[in-house]
Amino acid sequence: MRCVRALRPKRINKLTACCIVLVCLVGLINVMMTPIETSRREPTFYLGPDEDPAPVYPTDNTDKRLVDSVLPGHQKQPFRTHHVTVTTAWKKSSAANVHDSVRPLPPLANFTVDGQLLDQECAVVRMANFMGRKIPLAGSPLCQWLLNPLLKKADNFYLYGDEMALLYDVIVDPAQRHPGPKGGEDMEAVWNQPETYEYIAVKEGYFQLECKLPPKAKFNGGEKNHLNTWIPAVKCLTTNHTNAKTLRVDGRDDTIQNEKRSDGKGKSFSDGRKSVQNVTELVKNVKGLTLTFQRQEYVNIYFVMLTLYNAFLAMLTFNAQPKDVTILWVDAHPAGSTDSVWTTLFGEVIRAGHLPGPTRFSALGWIPYTHNSPLRKMNAERVNYIEEFRRFVLAGYGVNDTRVLDCACLNILFIWRHNYVAHPRNKGGKVSRKIVNEQQLLNAVKAVAPNDRVEGRQLDAEPMREQFRRVTETDVLIGMHGAGLVHSLFLPRHASLVEFYPTSFSMAHKPFRAIAGWRGLGYSVWQNKDMKREGENAETYIPPKVVADLVKSARNKMCPSK
């Protein structure tokens, strides 16, 4: 009642006293709920071993195996950025209590990254430093993953919602798989190879890590999601902290003796029956963060972008840089035209079928299943971080994004769908949804836009860097519904997309319309309703006037005065 005594003279009735107490309590609560503001201080980030914060998802007695190199950590000072107060956690108690120490904040208002509004779902905002840019992880699904990764923790296995997992110090044993090709073969060597041969079927023990009980998890997507087949393949190895390290596998003690071999080259491995060569010679070590997945539609650029976006989200989650990340393909696809996307953007790419033997990974991230990618949610109002993803890809290829709208001369590009051999199950290279009257369409557009640059190209026949370069310089992208239109991800922000559908294809499948909407691009669509325009070779006749009108409309929206 000190607050009351300070305010009243000598006497005060009970009702007035209660009101004063209530006002004091409300004021006290407001003070407690208001985050502390620092004096004009730039946000700070934990990026190295010189500081000692807790990681986003620390384990009890964390040994900092990856905290310094992979996991994002945070300073204990709150900071203000983008007009939103961001509070970070700093606590060295048990893992379960770390997130309890972070004070919830009100819903975010107008929180943006590169001009893109993020989902306003997270009260606590984590930060990532990605390719030199500070990115608030305020949007879904990252904020949910970072706030609740400990709910399904199992020793060295961390589950992020029902989409992603991270495994510490895991051994991948390539012997624990069903027979099949290694992957990476020339296409000519595997003609007509069934696609099922190219998906590695793993057995128990393919993944081995230190744990008391195998993790239990159910990933979104059911049986189609390969992560659900990986869970039963995780085998626990337990360690006794004695002079000899004992790995218990199937009830049998396998002891790594701390003794010199006869040739003086290090440790020997004994299971009580035989001695095997130096463990360090048998096991390859891959340090840092490795992202692993099974590729779906591995040469389809649309599905490549779905998977790549998932890998991008994982890098943001773990605060990792692309060139420091290793990619592990747990599939056996032959060499493909899109393989260079991964080898260009990341530090190293490893095929699981090419592992020389049991291989230890410091940190192995199971990224979300391709078909669960946010880019596949065609009815979503928004997809977060899409512009940052665009910047990541273009920067990785060294493509300058400098196109400025020039209404005096637009760049108009048709993407043609032509026959080409992409995988061993289509030796003839037949492609559907082609346009039969390509030259007529070019002529029609040139007639209504005589000062513009108009051209048509088969982009998938060109190197990936050239594809990205051409698209970033395009103002109007035109094409039949197909994978190539995923390049709308890389169009300038002022650009427009014109899409055609044949009679046989439903417009309900609208991934590229969705991308245009998420990015704020112009969008026009036309579908053929006349079966007489559909040819026998999966070719559609498109009336030239239809295309000319669509392009003219798109042009007028970009350049109203023209």
Three-class SS string for 297-343?
CCCCHHHHHHHHHHHHHHHHHHCCCHHHCEEEECCCCCCCCCHHHHH
The sign one gets for the Cα dihedral 55, 57, 63, 64 is negative
- State pTM to two decimals: 0.76
For residue 70, pLDDT beyond 50: no
For residues 340-353, give the mean pLDDT.
Answer: 98
pLDDT at position 38, please? Answer: 29
pLDDT at position 56, please? Answer: 35
Instruction: Tell me if 458 sits within 8 A of 418, measured CB to CB.
Output: yes
Residue 230: pLDDT band by 50, 70, 90 thresholds? Answer: very high
> Tens digits of per-residue pLDDT, 72-116?
332 322 222 233 333 332 222 222 222 222 222 333 344 455 555
For residues 224-229, give the mean pLDDT.
Answer: 97
Residue 117: pLDDT band by 50, 70, 90 thresholds? Answer: low
pLDDT at position 155, please? Answer: 74
For residues 378-395, give the mean pLDDT.
Answer: 96
CATH of 397-558 given 1.10.1060.10, 3.30.930.10, 3.40.50.360, 3.40.640.10: 3.40.50.360
3-class DSSP state of 476:
strand
Q: Is the peptide bond preceding residue 194 cis, with omega within 30 degrees of 0?
A: no
Q: Can you state the angle between helices 511-519 and 386-396, rounded to 10 degrees?
A: 100
Mean pLDDT of the chain: 77
> Tens digits of per-residue pLDDT, 299-335?
999 999 999 999 999 999 999 999 999 999 999 999 9
pLDDT at position 28, please? Answer: 58
pLDDT at position 238, please? Answer: 72
For residue 445, pLDDT beyond 60: yes
pLDDT at position 451, please? Answer: 97
DSSP annotation of 533 reads: G
> Tens digits of per-residue pLDDT, 131-181?
999 988 878 888 778 776 555 566 789 998 899 999 999 999 999 999 999
* Cross-strand pairs, 116: 113
Pairing of strands 348-351, 326-329: parallel
DSSP annotation of 253 reads: E
Residue 403 in tokens: 């196109």
The sign one gets for the Cα dihedral 373, 375, 379, 382 is positive
Instruction: Tell me if 472 sits within 8 A of 287, measured CB to CB.
Output: no
* Contacts with 9 (C-beta within 8 Å, 6 or more apart), sequence order: none
* Cross-strand pairs, 522: 496
Instruction: Tell me if 141 sits within 8 A of 374, measured CB to CB.
Output: yes
For residues 444-467, give the mean pLDDT.
Answer: 97
For residue 404, pLDDT beyond 90: yes
For the chain, how many helices (H) and strands (E)? 13, 25
One-letter amino acid of 401: D
For residue 337, pLDDT beyond 60: yes
- Which is more confident, 486 or 402? 486
pLDDT at position 161, please? Answer: 86
CA distances from 430 to 304, 419, 461 (A): 20, 5, 14
3-class DSSP state of 270:
strand
Instruction: Say which range, 4-13, 238-247, 484-493, has the weakest mean pLDDT.
Output: 238-247
DSSP annotation of 461 reads: G
pLDDT at position 7, please? Answer: 38
pLDDT at position 119, please? Answer: 53
* Cross-strand pairs, 453: 411
Return the exposure string of 515-554: e unless at least 16 CB atoms fall within 10 Å of the residue's CB, then b.
bbbbbebbbbbbebeeeebbeeebbbebbbeebbebbeeb
> Tens digits of per-residue pLDDT, 27-66?
655 544 443 332 322 222 222 222 222 233 333 333 333 3
pLDDT at position 561, please? Answer: 76
Residue 82 in tokens: 């983008």
Instruction: Tell me if 387 sits within 8 A of 519, measured CB to CB.
Output: yes
3-class DSSP state of 413:
strand
What are the backbone dihedrals phi and psi of residue 482, each rounded to the nearest 5 degrees, phi first?
A: 175, 170
194/199 Cα distance (integer angstroms): 10
Instruction: Say which range, 108-112, 380-384, 454-458, has the weakest mean pLDDT.
Output: 108-112
> Residues of the chain with pLDDT > 70: what percent?
69
> Tens digits of per-residue pLDDT, 182-209?
999 999 999 999 999 999 999 999 999 9
pLDDT at position 214, please? Answer: 87
